Structure 1
């Protein structure tokens, strides 16, 4: 039997719940779900197609069709705080922005600082072809991701601090931003050859971009600063506001807002006249954004921000963008420009960039 043991440090507030969404609960199924996501993200380069990734994922992680997966998962928590209601302060506008909806829902959370150890015990005969991609998923979660609600926006970030295979340590913690960049570059290189074309779903490809975008001793302040920058950046895309105002005043438009690239739905409200508009897909309620924010723990009590852009086909070919407001709607072809997000990533002057 092969045993993988990954330990993570919780670096930002974690909003994770079970059936009772008003409470907070650390759940192994939720962690397994996050691992499934990152498995899909890293497996495409080796398996070649979404269909093959799905088939292999079901065998490894389990499904109603294939039965139990190839491993058992247990989770240990050390230093996990009691759950409490987050204080969305006025001076944390960036956190409020990144955690949209959590304030109104009064969701409870766990404070940063806890140690979370995930143990995976594989069934006999699993083989390297099964264990290795799961190991990479564990690393990806700890380099780029998080757990719970608004994990893509940096909340619930978990930084990998240890990775053991059958008791042998395989991970060295990066001491500073340059070492973190090197770790990320080595990980991306381990996925080669990456697909050159835009993937059919969120996955690593040759078009992936990763930036180490600054550091601070306060991880929550670091995340709050990123949220404030994003809020200002998106607000200042004046052409989008002008486009929506034209639509609301009865004018004809031929394109959707640029900021669609950050995900759907998104809304507009103009204080001057109270007009509102909603931007969504015709058949889908939401499309998660392709930008992942992660706060990573470094040596000496410092933390670094990691911004990961995983561009993919934004919507199926037949899907359209729909804009609704002032008693009318407009359907438009989906033509997303991921350059809008790359331009946001350029807002961090001391960033360290990783390209495949």
Structure 2
């Protein structure tokens, strides 16, 4: 089945490619449930969505290249990061297109074989946790692909030089190595594996995969795990302002689980991965609960809390992604349920305290299939970046806690919350990095322990 392109009638049939274009074809296998919908809310693999993912990984791959170039050519410039971002943005628009120019990369999806599930399912608790409330509430609320294959026709403008062509293919291969498609992609849903890459009917996967490896080796040079886990002061200037590969990037890769010998497919490997992720997050939730409970015992006087004096007790889960909400029950003669919200605010010069309601996780989970062994492995990418914007003058962003007490529903309306107080607190640029690297270290340790136990069980 061919999914309609978002380009509509503006895109010619790929069988009639003009001489000014060249064509690659990437064939992907779907390893874990993939949630993606078209304009009619029906299940569909959308070219526009896939292109957005490829642009994301392209930026992640080439940010450092532009940063180093800007540093060489403008040594006395105060805001090198901003200059590099502008250059990267111009380069991206020239290649991928924007409001001022057409894209020099066109995509067309052809579904070769699909397995779609249109009904709701009960799922393991870890899968429900990974999907979240928007997709799962005791049952799955959206249709999804359970597996299958699809081909991505990649039509490149012939005027592109070899460096630009390779950069597009590197983005495709980065999707293959680390990325997923559709909703909840950072939690491993929509994991895909590139099984074939052809150019003029010639298999070129190995050649271009080697090229990506060389590029990543260059980007990750100086990546020292001993330095990563040290308590040395963090140079904030080393952290990318956007999610991008850098010397701080770390990768976890699990051991293969052969489907033929264990019967475990990609979705089951993801369930195991999310089970560990859930437990690690839960430990943070317990720490947060203890933190708030300490203030809830005697009237919930959190307004007296001074974050500067409570750095070690600070709710670390706030730095794993926003929005973040806690529910706390006050014990005593008049027990109440409280809802604690945490938000961040951008204090850089041009935004003057603009609220930042969302901040994505720095972790990217994936399940890949190893072609040679027919086994599935999990892969976790930790790609640290600045948690919040930072101005050239290093103005510190700030956050806000807003506490509210839960009222009883009235007239069949949803629960409402009465405001109790708000509390501002400063956020240093080092805090989010330290919190996330500690989480990654714990996650890595727990995954390693689970794999060792799995091996011992198999040996028995």
| TMscore range, shorter length | 0.7 to 0.9
Task: Give the match for residue 177 of structure 1.
Answer: none
Please list the CA deviations of residues 53-89 of structure 1 after superposition, one character each: whole Å capped at 9, or x if unmatched.
Answer: 1111111111002x11112211111211234134132
What CA RMSD, in Å, does the superposition of the two structures yield over aligned residues? 2.7
- Say which SS state the counterpart of residue 35 (structure 1) adopts: helix
Q: 1:313-324 alignment to 2 at 5 Å? A: 313-317=386-390, 318-324=396-402
Question: Cα–Cα, structure 1 residues 184 and 257, in superposed 2: closer, same or farther, change >3 Å?
Answer: farther
Report how far residue 220 of structure 1 moved. 1.3
Segments of structure 2 that go 5 or more residues without pairing to the other structure are 1-20, 68-83, 224-236, 258-263, 346-354, 391-395, 405-419, 452-460
Structure 1 counterpart of 2:325, from 256, 264, 267: 267
Answer with 1 or 2: which has the greater Rg: 2
Report how far residue 192 of structure 1 moved. 5.9
Aligned partners of 1:193 and 1:123: how far apart in 2?
32
Question: Cα–Cα, structure 1 residues 187 and 129, in superposed 2: closer, same or farther, change >3 Å?
Answer: closer
Task: Give the match for residue 305 of structure 1.
Answer: 378
Work out whether 1:44 is the aligned partner of 2:77: no
Structure 1 counterpart of 2:110, from 76, 84, 91: 76
Task: Give the match for residue 279 of structure 1.
Answer: 342
Task: Give the match for residue 19 of structure 1.
Answer: 39
Task: Give the match for residue 144 of structure 1.
Answer: 178
Report how far residue 194 of structure 1 moved. 8.2
Aligned partners of 1:115 and 1:54: how far apart in 2?
32
Aligned partners of 1:160 and 1:223: how far apart in 2?
18
> Is this contact kept in 1: 2:62–2:88, CA < 8 A?
yes
Question: Cα–Cα, structure 1 residues 164 and 321, in superposed 2: closer, same or farther, change >3 Å?
Answer: farther
Aligned partners of 1:284 and 1:345: how far apart in 2?
29
> Is this contact kept in 2: 1:297–1:304, CA < 8 A?
yes
> Is this contact kept in 1: 2:116–2:143, CA < 8 A?
no
**Is the helix fraction higher in 1 or 2?**
2
> Is this contact kept in 2: 1:11–1:157, CA < 8 A?
yes
- Say which SS state the counterpart of residue 173 (structure 2) adopts: helix
Please list the CA deviations of residues 163-200 of structure 1 after superposition, one character each: whole Å capped at 9, or x if unmatched.
Answer: 22343323259xxxxxx9x9996562154668981111
Work out whether 1:109 is the aligned partner of 2:152: no
Aligned partners of 1:42 and 1:32: how far apart in 2?
15
Aligned partners of 1:127 and 1:96: how far apart in 2?
45
Equivalenced residues, count: 340
Relative contact order (C-alpha < 8 Å, sep 6+): which is higher? 1
Task: Give the match for residue 241 of structure 1.
Answer: 289
> Is this contact kept in 1: 2:292–2:328, CA < 8 A?
no
Query: When the two structures are superposed, what TM-score results if normalisation uses the length of structure 1?
Result: 0.87
Structure 2 counterpart of 1:188, from 201, 207, 216: 216
Aligned partners of 2:222 and 2:244: how far apart in 1?
10
Report how far residue 100 of structure 1 moved. 0.5
> Is this contact kept in 2: 1:264–1:280, CA < 8 A?
yes
Task: Give the match for residue 301 of structure 2.
Answer: 250
> Is this contact kept in 2: 1:154–1:292, CA < 8 A?
yes
Query: When the two structures are superposed, what TM-score results if normalisation uses the length of structure 2?
Result: 0.68
Question: Cα–Cα, structure 1 residues 218 and 287, in superposed 2: closer, same or farther, change >3 Å?
Answer: same
- Say which SS state the counterpart of residue 379 (structure 2) adopts: strand
Aligned partners of 1:313 and 1:97: how far apart in 2?
26
Report how far residue 333 of structure 1 moved. 2.2
Aligned partners of 2:30 and 2:60: how far apart in 1?
22
Task: Give the match for residue 446 of structure 2.
Answer: 347
> Is this contact kept in 2: 1:98–1:150, CA < 8 A?
yes
Work out whether 1:9 is the aligned partner of 2:29: yes
